[in-house]
Amino acid sequence: MIQLRKDLMQLWHQQLTFKIAASYIGILLLLIVALPILPVTYSPNELDLQHTFAKPFTSGSGAPHWLGTDVLGRDVWVNILYGARSAFLISFPVMLFSTGLGLVLGISAGYFGNTGLKVSRAAIGVILLALLCIAYYGLYLPLSLVETGLPLKYTWYSLLVLLVLLLLLYKVALPLLKKWRFAATRFNLPLDYLVLRLTEAFTSVPRLLLILALVSFLQPSVLLLSGIFAATFWTSTARLARAETLKIKQLPYFEAAHSLGARRMRLLTKHALPNMLGPIIVTFTFSIAGLLALESTLSFLGIGVPGTFVSWGRTIAGIRSNTAAWWLVVFPGAALATTVWALQTISYHLLNHFESKR
């Protein structure tokens, strides 16, 4: 982490475009965090029917509409701010979950291969239960709480419950199950084969077709959309982590640590993981940019999300009702394009920096 901080500071001082992009993302995140205390007169779904399709700097019922209004009189400036919050509240949790899942699967597949891991039936059962807990308390419940507008503390309570459940499964359930002879039986787990086949299965189905298939018989929901994103965005991280682990395993320092009797967890967390953080961060930022663009596209098309969901895509879609309302495209489109550009610029400089050090 210290080396990563030095790399970021070096890029900050040497690359002007990196500094501009990082500053923009930092300011945007600061606005999102400070949104509840900002002096915003209108709410994102508040209707001002007396001022529909109002041009920028038009006086409204409560305050001026600085960037105009849409077909229902919703303030464009407020919807841009709340649309940014919606985009990042979806993309960051989803990508954190997907990146974590991809890292675990990719590193495990690369290190253990098909014959290096012996597990018991008890461990398999506990892992499956842990994944269910992570999916519910780590993803479904926090997103539900955010969607319903409840205070942030309830999200932290959910994550705390998840941590307690994982500790109970590891410290209590697993030792108890191992006392049962049938559950304690160990066998070789072909982990590399399973991860590769699972990755191929998820990447073989186009994400957009999967979304269309699910929303055709399920009610549009942010949770449903986030679940699809989380279930499909981990594959690139898993492939990268597997390839990096296979390469790191052959390096002299890793073989030396292994010959000295270092434990598996220490080998993976102290020697393998820190040396692949650079490519993983690059993949993370690129995926965030892609996820933001995909979420806005789906919102623009009205696919997979309810009509009350605030997003840049929904605001841009208002141009269909009045092609002369240029502000509905220019301002939210500029926010989306600039955000994606900033994330991809950061990724580009990080990629070049890490490649030059190899």
pLDDT tens, residue by residue, 193-236:
999 999 998 888 888 888 888 777 777 778 778 888 888 889 99
Q: Are 287 and 344 in contact (CB under 8 A)?
A: no
Q: Are residues 49 and 21 in the same domain?
A: yes
**Residue whose C-alpha is closest to residue 147's, from 227, 97, 89, 80:** 89
Q: Which of 134, 156, 188 is the last residue in one of the domains?
A: 188
Of 122, 129, 124, the residue nearest 165 (C-alpha): 129
- Among 157, 188, 219, give the residue marking a domain's end: 188
Residue 146: the pLDDT is 67
Q: What is the pLDDT of residues 169-180, one digit of tens each?
A: 888 888 888 888
- First-to-last alpha carbon distance for the chain, in angstroms, is 18
In terms of domains, do 83 and 38 share one?
yes
Please indicate, yes or no, whether residues 173 and 222 belong to a single structural domain of this protein.
Answer: no
Model pLDDT, residue 9: 84
Domain limits for position 150: 118-188
Count of domains forming the chain: 2
Model confidence at 337: pLDDT above 90? yes
What is the tens place of the pLDDT at every residue in 225-235? Answer: 888 888 888 99
Q: How many CB atoms lie within 10 A of CB 111?
A: 22
CATH number at residue 336: 1.10.3720.10
Task: Please give the pLDDT value at position 196.
Answer: 92
In whole angstroms, give the CA distance from residue 232 to residue 210.
Answer: 10
The verdict on 122 and 261 lying in the same domain is no
Mean pLDDT of 259-273: 80
Does residue 206 sit in the same domain as residue 312?
Answer: yes
For residue 115, CA distances in Å to 109, 119, 179, 200, 242 come to 10, 11, 25, 21, 15
pLDDT digits (tens, 9 = 90+) for 67-102: 999 988 899 999 999 999 999 988 988 899 899 989
